[in-house]
Amino acid sequence: MNEFGFGDLLKSAVLSRKSFFELKDTNCFRLFNASGDGLDGITVDYYDGHILVQYFTREVENSIFDYLAIIGGLSSHVDAPIKSILLKNRKTVRGNQDFDELRDSRIVEGDYPEGGIAVLHNGIKANVDLIHGQSTGIFMDMYQVRADLAPYYKSGDIKSVLNLFSYTALFSVHALLNGAENAINVDLSKAVLKRARENYVLNSLKVDERDFVYGDSLEWVKIFGKKRRKFDLVIFDPPTFARNRKKKFSVRRDFPAMLNEIGKIVSENGFVLTSINSYSVPSEEYMKSHPAGWENIRFWTESADFKYSDNHYLKAGLWKPAPAV
């Protein structure tokens, strides 16, 4: 595709997301979603005026500076500030290369604060890092999921939350700000738990060290089960594949068995939020991977700014487990 063709696609994509610029509770979202907007291999995200461009293929890489020149003219399409443009290489990594260093972004235009920035998403403040590593610390495609969960917190239906594979704890922050009474975050990374605490502080939430649990999420589910601990909502959004020193986790292999264990720690009228992020797992397989008797209350795919072309990668659902026998 030549640069003129991409210019038309970008303009159309940005104008179709005009309503996102008008949101009061959110100032970060996807502007261009690869093949969903007409060109595979490139995404463009808006973080309160900072633009993160990510490329995934060699074909896009070969023309990236032409694309960047067009992206630099975004201000002519939107009534919003463009403070900086950053570029991140997301091509497939092979061999023993330094993964984190390869994923670091570089600033190609404007000024980006050395300490990172804070954005607003679903009404919560979140620290994001657009420079280092692969993930920025916020999953913007979960916008609609979090928005639809807010009434459950506000009504008092969900008071206690267990956030497995919690990452930077944004689901917990959102729950607490909307009326949940407590949330426990479990993750196998001390670095992301540190970022989770920072997000609590950023949102003026009390930081209780007992709410940030370092360890394997699967093992902690069993520990809570032995202690007969119950939760009104268990969030189970695992990586597609994970490994620690003891074992490996595969979402396709281990997802159903893990849900059986999770069902034991859900309160009588409680819920489980599950999610799979993989093109290789179709929606039908996701639905069938839940235990017999579980009732699906809601089903989501990516939020509207993550336009798709052929199929969804995100499948998320709110479930009510079958009553314990």
Per DSSP, the residues of 293-311 read TPEEEEEE-S-TTS--SS-
177, part of any domain: yes
Domain boundary among 128, 149, 178: 128
Query: What's the pLDDT score for residue 98?
Result: 52
DSSP 3-state helix, strand, coil percentages of the chain (rounded to 5)? 35, 30, 40
121 and 146 co-located in one domain: no
Shared domain check, 98 and 17? yes
Q: How many domains does the chain have?
A: 2
Is 184 within a domain?
yes
The last residue of one of the domains, among 106, 128, 150, is 128
* Domain membership flag for residue 133: no
Q: Is residue 134 part of a domain?
A: no
Query: Are residues 225 and 94 located together in one domain of the fold?
Result: no
Quick one: what percent of the chain has pLDDT higher than 70?
Answer: 92
- Same domain for 170 and 300, yes or no, is yes
For residues 232 and 94, state if they share a domain. no
pLDDT at 135 over 60: yes
CATH number of the domain encompassing residue 215: 3.40.50.150
Residues in the chain: 325
When mean pLDDT is compared across 14-18, 101-105, 181-185, 281-285, the lowest value belongs to 101-105
Higher pLDDT, residue 77 or 51: 51
173 and 310 both lie in a single domain:
yes
Note the pTM of the prediction, 2 decimals.
0.92
Question: The CATH number of the domain where 80 resides is what?
Answer: 3.30.750.80
In a domain, 325, yes or no: no
Report percent pLDDT > 90 for the chain: 80
Same domain, 249 and 101: no
User: Do 206 and 226 reside in the same domain of the chain?
Assistant: yes
Domain that holds residue 66: 3-128
Taking all residues of the chain, what is their mean pLDDT, rounded to a whole number? 92
User: How far lies 318's CA from each of 23, 123, 124, 146, in Å?
Assistant: 25, 21, 21, 11
Which of 65, 95, 128 is at the close of a domain?
128
Same domain, 121 and 17: yes
Q: Is residue 110 part of a domain?
A: yes
Q: Taking 80 as the threshold, does the pLDDT of residue 240 lie above it?
A: no
Tell whether 172 and 302 lie within a shared domain.
yes
Do residues 51 and 44 touch, judged by C-beta distance below 8 A? yes
Q: 120 with 151, same domain?
A: no
Does 300 lie in the same domain as 278?
yes
- Give pLDDT, residue 103: 79
Q: Is residue 238 part of a domain?
A: yes
In a domain, 135, yes or no: no
Asked whether the beta carbons of 119 and 133 are under 8 A apart, the reply is no
Residue 95 has pLDDT above 60, yes or no: no
Read off the pLDDT of residues 141-173 as tens digits, 9 standing for 90 and up: 999 999 999 999 999 999 999 999 999 999 999
Q: How would you classify the pairing of strands 50-55 and 84-89?
A: parallel
- Mean of pLDDT values over 111-121: 94
Task: Assess whether pLDDT exceeds 70 at residue 244.
Answer: no
